[in-house]
A and B are shown apart, each in its own frame.
Chain A
Amino acid sequence: MSPDVNKLTVKDYKTDLKPVWCPGCGDYGVLNALYRAMAELQLEPWNTVVLSGIGCSSRLPGYVATYGFNSIHGRALALATGVKTARPELHVIAVGGDGDGMAIGGNHFMHSCRRNLDVTYILMDNEIYGLTKGQTAPTTPTGDKTKSSYYGNPEPAVDPVELAISVGATWVARGYSGDMKTLTKLITQAIEHKGFAFLNVISPCVTFRGDHQFKEIKEKLRYLPEDHDATDRTAALRYVREKDVVTTGVLYRVEEPTLGDRLEHIRMVAQGDGEPPTTQEIINHFMPLS
């Protein structure tokens, strides 16, 4: 059996930039799983955009040989909306940190879920602001001591997975950067999903959360039971805000029209038989009762 010379391998998705993450950072696992998932799907780099906000995790697009955009803090999904709307045929993968996605960019998250924007969003959740050296994030557990909370974080934390399910994402999963096999599978499925696919990856910051994290999370790690019904929202919500365990897998998955589908539908309705609509037709469309 001769190897297929046209087949893309992991190597083809790597750039010549060397990641500058700290040794042991969870984000390496996410990057490697992403390479593998892309190779598995034979994703064409020239038809793929990876974009991010700002943070340690948001450096990732620089390490992937596709189109990339290391944008503004918190705005990955706002940019993804623009790219996907202008070029619906592209694979759009947004990535970033929990601070980027849940704090400063939190509003974009809700609206991307709600609109069922057809992009993949991988959140590298380390429960901290890594790049700015260890301040409390919305995901930091209550009581944890950080550089901005000497007596421990006084605020309740958000579980991004719970939020995504609640506000309308159509594919929601939790992964762990220390479990390459499962993570690769999850990223592959996330990219394949038509609609907003949200993957929250527990990705420890060894520098500001401590390197004991990997050991602790490994002990808490569980897989979803075989008989989990991913179309059942209530069942999915059983696995949020977990304390003593970390359950990974696809918690929720439904098929719904995407934002692109809806916009296309409007365009077709507005055009009627393919001819541009008359002014009266446009008025009738938006004001059917008048």
Chain B
Amino acid sequence: MRKVIKGNGAVAHGVRLARAQVISAYPITPQTSIIEELASMVAEGELDARFIKVESEHSAMAGCIAASSAGARAFTATSAQGLALMHELIHWAAGARLPIVLANVNRAMAPGWSIWTDQNDSLSQRDTGWMQVYCESSQEVVDSVIQAFKVSERVLLPTIVVLDAFFLSHTYEDVEIPEQELVDGFLPPLELPQKLDLEHPAALGNLVFPDRYMEFRRKMELAQQHALGVWEEVGREWGELTGRPYGLLEEYRTDGAELVLVCAATAASTARVVVDRMRDAGIPVGLVRLRVFRPFPADAFRAVLGGRRKVLVLDRNCSFGHHGIFHQEIKSALFELPAAEQPEIRGVIAGLGGRDITPEDIEDMLTRAWEGRLEEATTWWDVLPAEDPVRAASVRS
């Protein structure tokens, strides 16, 4: 069925079609309409789930952890401050190997208060053991939520499905909403190998001594590595069913491209227009859109970027003290290439706190990269000059 819906609505439809059984959530802008729509789906009988509106995000994730431990398919949604407040439980969910799915609407962290998009909230959860997928369109959001349940349940690791605040969460787009039968065929009911079970009583969350702790962590790492292939397989299978295949990353006009731009999420839609424009002008640029960020598709990046002349990474995030996060990770992946195949790599940090990244911005950064006019390893795009780095706050005059 085709419908014009918002990115947030697309999340709700994905969760409905995946037949989530427990939804435990707390409102926060710009995520709130996801859980409101789910609350109404539950109320209208369109989704047979328990909806619990708890008193904070910390409790929301605790609720998902417990529901998932009892064998239920569990979902929550949040943004920025809410995700940060969940952090302790985020580690727990992954360590306990629970296939929870969380939709995070990328929103900048306070202070200063912002409700607009950037990626520092989700990327701050990078090292927790959760998988992360960055979506570009509402169509990809519905499709990815459903795939996320499948991959998570196969590898027993939770997934964060990420969408940009407002640019995607609140933008209406034409979306093909899959039929329930199709999804039911794709995503079987959840059968966890271990769960709270009256027939087989067990205690969860015990102390693990130094002689075993590392083995648990190593298994998480192996599961992440294994998940790369599972995401590819599941994306292919989805493509066979719907005509919309997905990979770990997406290439656009990379054939013969000597300069490749890498970015994630909605900025890629803008970049595509610019790539067309610059190709028409005879400049050999291409685009790679990062989709699955954890597990990190290092091989895929080496395959597509190795041997190019230049790579420009656009980060809507910053690891303060060491570049944009996508930039760091791609650079470290490319370091394993033979020296002759290593492209020159530059990073741009742009669009933090929801600042628009226009086609002109992207064209300008690509042109400067192409002409060798990005001197620094990382350039902060479109910012006022910072007079005094130590005086942090600007004072209202």
Q: How far is the CA of A211 from the CA of B39 in the complex (A)?
A: 25
Establish whether residues B29 and A104, one from each chain, have CB atoms under 8 Å apart when the complex forms.
no
Nearest-CB distance from B72 to chain A (Å)? 19
Q: Are B27 and A149 in contact (CB under 8 A)?
A: no
Q: Is the beta-carbon distance between B55 and A148 smaller than 8 angstroms?
A: no
Query: Which of A72, A106, A129 contacts B110, CB < 8 Å?
Result: A72
A136 touching B53 in the complex, CB below 8 Å, given contacts A72-B110, A148-B36, A148-B39: yes
Determine if B55 and A106 form an interchain contact, defined as CB atoms under 8 angstroms apart: yes
Name the distance in Å between B230's Cβ and chain A's nearest Cβ. Answer: 34
Kindly list chain B residues whose C-beta atoms are within 8 Å of the C-beta of A131: 29
CB distance from A62 to the nearest CB of B (A): 11
B39, A149: Cβ atoms closer than 8 Å: yes
A74 touching B56, Cβ below 8 Å: yes
Q: Does B128 contact A (CB under 8 A)?
A: no
Q: Using Cβ atoms and an 8 Å threshold, which residues of chain A touch B55?
A: 103-104, 106, 138
State in angstroms the CA–CA spacing of A131 and B81 once bound together.
15
The answer, among A70, A135, A151, for a CB contact under 8 Å with B113, is A70
Q: Is there contact, CB below 8 Å, between B26 and A104?
A: yes
A147 at the interface (CB under 8 A from B): yes
| B44 partner residues in chain A, CB cutoff 8 A | 150
Q: Are A132 and B53 in contact (CB under 8 A)?
A: no
Q: In angstroms, how far is the closest chain A Cβ from the Cβ of B249?
A: 35
Q: Does B214 contact A (CB under 8 A)?
A: no
* Cβ-based interface call for A133 (8 A): yes
Determine the residue in chain A with the shortest Cβ distance to B58: A104
Complex CA gap A163/B43 in Å reads 32
Within 8 A of A (CB), among B1-50: 26-29, 32, 35-36, 39-40, 43-44
Q: Is A73 an interface residue (CB 8 A)?
A: yes
Contact between chains at A73 and B81 (CB < 8 Å): yes
Interface contact B28-A132, CB-CB below 8 Å: yes
- Residues on B with C-beta less than 8 A from A135 are 27, 32, 36, 53
Known: A103-B55, A149-B53. A132 touches B29 (CB 8 A): yes
Asked if B35 and A148 make an inter-chain contact with CB atoms under 8 angstroms apart, the answer reads yes
Residues of A within 8 A of B53 (CB): 135-136, 148-149
Interface of A is mostly: loop
Q: Per-residue CB proximity of A139-156 to B under 8 Å, as 1/0?
A: 000000001111100000
Task: Please determine whether A132 and B27 come into contact, CB atoms closer than 8 angstroms.
Answer: yes
Contact of A150 with B39 at beta-carbon distance under 8 Å, contacts A106-B55, A129-B27 already known? yes
The distance in angstroms between the C-alpha atoms of A10 and B153, with both chains bound, is 61
CB distance from B109 to the nearest CB of A (A): 11
| A106 CA / B29 CA spacing, docked (Å) | 21
Looking at the assembled complex, report how far the CB atom of A193 sits from the nearest CB atom of chain B, in whole angstroms.
28
| Interchain nearest-CB distance for B358 vs A (Å) | 28
Q: Mark A199-241, 1 if CB is under 8 A from B, else 0.
A: 0000000000000000000000000000000000000000000
Selected contact of A104 from candidates B32, B40, B43, B56, CB within 8 Å = B56
Residue of A nearest to B81 (CB): A73
Q: Which residue of A lies closest to B29 (CB)?
A: A132
Complex: A240 Cα to B32 Cα, angstroms: 32
Which residue on A lies nearest to B84, using beta carbons? A72
* A70-B113, A72-B81 known; A150-B43 Cβ under 8 A: yes
CB proximity to A under 8 Å, residues B111-126: 113
Give CA–CA (A150, B40) in the complex, Å. Answer: 7
Q: In chain B, what residue has the closest Cβ to A74? A: B56
Q: Which B residues touch A73, using CB under 8 A?
A: 81
Q: Taking each of A70, A106, A135, A151, which has the highest tally of chain B beta carbons within 10 Å of its own beta carbon?
A: A135
Q: Which residues of chain A in 114-168 are interfacial with respect to chain B, using CB atoms and an 8 Å cutoff?
A: 129, 131-133, 135-136, 138, 147-151
Q: Is there an interface contact between B81 and A147, defined as CB atoms closer than 8 Å?
A: no
Q: Which of B28, B32, B43, B85 contacts A151 (CB 8 A)?
A: B43
Q: Which residues of A contact B32 (CB under 8 A)?
A: 132-133, 135
How many Å from the CB of B51 to the closest CB on chain A? 8
Contacts of A70 in B (CB 8 A): 113
Report the bound CA distance from A72 to B58 in whole Å: 14
Q: Which of B36, B40, B85 has the most CB of A within 10 A?
A: B36
Contact residues in B for A74 (Cβ distance below 8 Å): 56
Q: Please indicate the chain A residues that have their CB under 8 angstroms from the CB of B35 in the complex.
A: 148
Question: Min CB distance, A133 to chain B, in Å?
Answer: 7
What residues of A have a CB within 8 angstroms of the CB of B29 in the complex? 131-132
Interchain nearest-CB distance for A64 vs B (Å): 15
Provide the B71-97 mask, 1 if CB < 8 A to any CB of A, else 0: 000000000010001000000000000
Task: Please report the C-alpha to C-alpha distance between residue A103 and residue B82 in the assembled complex, in whole angstroms.
Answer: 14
User: Which A residues touch B43, using CB under 8 A?
Assistant: 150-151
Cβ contact within 8 Å between A147 and B56: no
Question: Which residues from chain A contact B26 at a C-beta distance below 8 Å?
Answer: 104
Complex interface: chain B residues within 8 A of A106 (CB): 55
Inter-chain CA distance A106–B110, complex, in Å, is 21
What is the CB-to-nearest-CB distance from A149 to chain B, in angstroms, rounded to a whole number?
A: 7
CB distance from B85 to the nearest CB of A (A): 8
A147–B28 touching, CB < 8 Å:
no
Q: A104-B26, A106-B55 are in contact. List 5 more A-B contacts (CB 8 A).
A: A72-B81, A103-B56, A132-B32, A148-B53, A150-B44
* Contacts from A to B (Cβ < 8 Å): 54, 70, 72-74, 103-104, 106, 129, 131-133, 135-136, 138, 147-151
Listed A/B pairs (24) with beta-carbon separation below 8 Å: A70-B113, A73-B81, A103-B55, A103-B56, A104-B26, A104-B56, A104-B85, A129-B27, A131-B29, A132-B28, A132-B29, A132-B32, A135-B53, A136-B53, A138-B55, A148-B27, A148-B35, A148-B39, A148-B53, A149-B39, A149-B53, A150-B43, A150-B44, A151-B43
Kindly list the 8 A-B residue pairs having the minimum CB-CB distance in the complex, ordered from nearest. A150-B43, A103-B55, A104-B56, A132-B27, A148-B53, A135-B27, A148-B39, A132-B32
Q: Which residues of B pack against A, CB within 8 Å?
A: 26-29, 32, 35-36, 39-40, 43-44, 53, 55-56, 81, 85, 110, 113
